[in-house]
Structure 1
């Protein structure tokens, strides 16, 4: 056993436990508190397992999708969660996240760090069928939580229907079926007064 390698892996695993402390703007389904990034990543992995059949590309590599979903927000340990509708926050988001990736991923042995970097960059680029499906789920999940919580986060930040449609249109790149469903959720949320026009 290579104890140096094992210690690097353990350091990484203990470091990423901090993801549980990164709060998102979205509330958990009972509206009792805000969701954390670790919960978000777990929920996305479960969505991939459950909704794989709705990916635009058939026979996608599901394990690859799940890997991307589990690592895509690790950078937020350092960079923080940038709220989806925070235009100012997006001005330096890429730079903050790149610096975080360099620090956090490089805790791992070199070969594993390179693999995690590749997965993260693939997710961000959305150029593969797996990345497009993963990104679609990443957009769909907070919208579903907003719907079930009667628009808790939308209302707190005065978010409008047009913003939600624009933000989530990329779901169609990974799943036309899930985008059709998402649009119905948005319309239903407007009708129920959870989301302003």
Structure 2
């Protein structure tokens, strides 16, 4: 499969990229600094650019069959606008000429219209929003744009993501009870994201994903 991966140099994205290459997929990535991908440059199509430029986003997804975004914002307040703009660019490009399938890395604190979170989950979301309000706000803005699109999207909402080894234990669901100890490793989350490029189980839904 021909995939476009955004956020390929980040903690989760690098695992998505490695697993995609290992699985034999043809991969395109958009990065500001191609030097960060010299070790895999021969295996991927590297587009140098920025997610806030629509023409760069369009170049990255050109000819691809699915898109995976593993982008994560910083704690800066300006990221809210950046992620809203990026999402608009991506949706516009995909709806115009790109692939219909978008797999989006979101977060457990992101709210989905119409859902009724358990009390414990609402409390946890409130705590995360207080501690990382700009990060959550940026991912919420991104999700809201994608949710309102016509794309075949899937948004994964993990709790705490840790830099640990793959365990093979992956649970996904809309009614999962997440607690203070809920977590998933970066490689396990990457595996889940990659699977969603061909799995319709969670089409146009946003499951919580944990181990």
The question of a shared fold, defined as TM-score above 0.5 by the shorter chain, is answered with no
TM-score normalized with structure 1 length: 0.31
User: Which one scores higher on RCO, CA 8 angstroms, separation ≥ 6?
Assistant: 1
TM-score normalized with structure 2 length: 0.30
Q: When you count helix as a share of all residues, which structure comes out higher?
A: 1
Q: When you count strand as a share of all residues, which structure comes out higher?
A: 2
